[in-house]
C-alpha cells in the first residue's frame, strides 16, 4: 500500500488527537461492526489502526499484525499500537473476553444432556435469554437447538 500526502491529510482529519500521556486517539469516521476504524486508500479499505501504525512507526513486517495495548479498537495512536503474531493477537482477544470459545463458538458440539435441557426449556416457553443464563448456551445456539437447526452432539465417527 502506498500512501500519498493527500491520504495522510484525509487520515488525520478523521482522528481526534487528545492531550494526555496515555490518552487514546479515537478514529472519528467509519467503524466496522467490531468497532475498528476503516479507511480507504485507492480502491481498498484498511483498518485505521494499521494505517496509523504505518504513519507513526513505519512498515509492518510480513506475518505481523498491529495490536492495541489500550484495548480501544478505534484508537490509532502509535504509542498504543504494537506488532505481534496471530497467536499473540488471539491471546489478547481471549484475555479481553472477545474471542468466541466454548459454548459461544459457532462450531461447538453440545453434550446430549445440555441439548435436552435447552429443548425442554424451549418447550416450556422459556425465553432464549433465560435459557442462556440457565445453561450457558448462547441465545443463538439455544434458538438453533429449540428450532431443530442444531442436532446437538454427533454420533460416534460423525463430523460436526
80-97 pLDDT, tens digit each: 999 999 999 888 887 877
Residue range 44-54, pLDDT digits in tens? 999 999 999 99
Which of the pair, 120 or 90, is modelled with greater confidence? 120
Q: 86 and 73 in contact (C-beta within 8 Å)?
A: no
Q: What is the value of pTM for the model shown?
A: 0.64
- What average pLDDT does the segment 147-153 reach? 63
Q: Give the pLDDT score at 110.
A: 75
- Its sign, for the CA torsion 43, 47, 53, 59, is negative
Q: How far apart are CA 25 and CA 19, in angstroms?
A: 9
Amino acid at each position: 500500500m502506498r500512501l500519498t500526502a493527500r491520504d495522510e491529510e484525509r487520515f488525520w482529519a478523521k482522528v481526534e488527537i487528545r492531550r494526555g500521556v496515555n490518552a487514546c486517539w479515537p478514529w472519528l469516521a467509519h467503524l466496522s461492526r467490531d468497532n475498528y476504524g476503516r479507511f480507504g486508500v485507492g480502491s481498498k479499505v484498511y483498518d485505521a489502526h494499521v494505517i496509523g501504525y504505518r504513519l507513526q512507526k513505519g512498515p509492518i513486517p510480513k506475518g505481523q499484525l498491529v495490536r492495541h495495548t489500550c484495548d480501544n479498537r478505534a484508537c490509532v495512536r502509535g504509542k498504543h499500537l504494537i506488532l505481534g503474531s496471530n497467536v499473540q493477537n488471539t491471546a489478547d482477544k481471549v484475555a479481553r473476553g472477545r474471542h468466541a470459545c466454548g459454548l459461544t463458538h459457532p462450531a461447538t458440539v453440545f453434550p446430549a444432556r445440555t441439548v435436552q435441557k435447552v429443548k425442554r426449556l424451549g418447550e416450556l416457553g422459556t425465553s432464549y435469554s433465560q435459557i442462556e443464563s440457565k445453561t450457558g448456551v448462547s441465545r443463538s445456539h439455544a434458538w438453533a437447538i429449540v428450532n431443530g437447526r442444531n442436532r446437538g452432539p454427533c454420533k460416534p465417527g460423525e463430523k460436526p
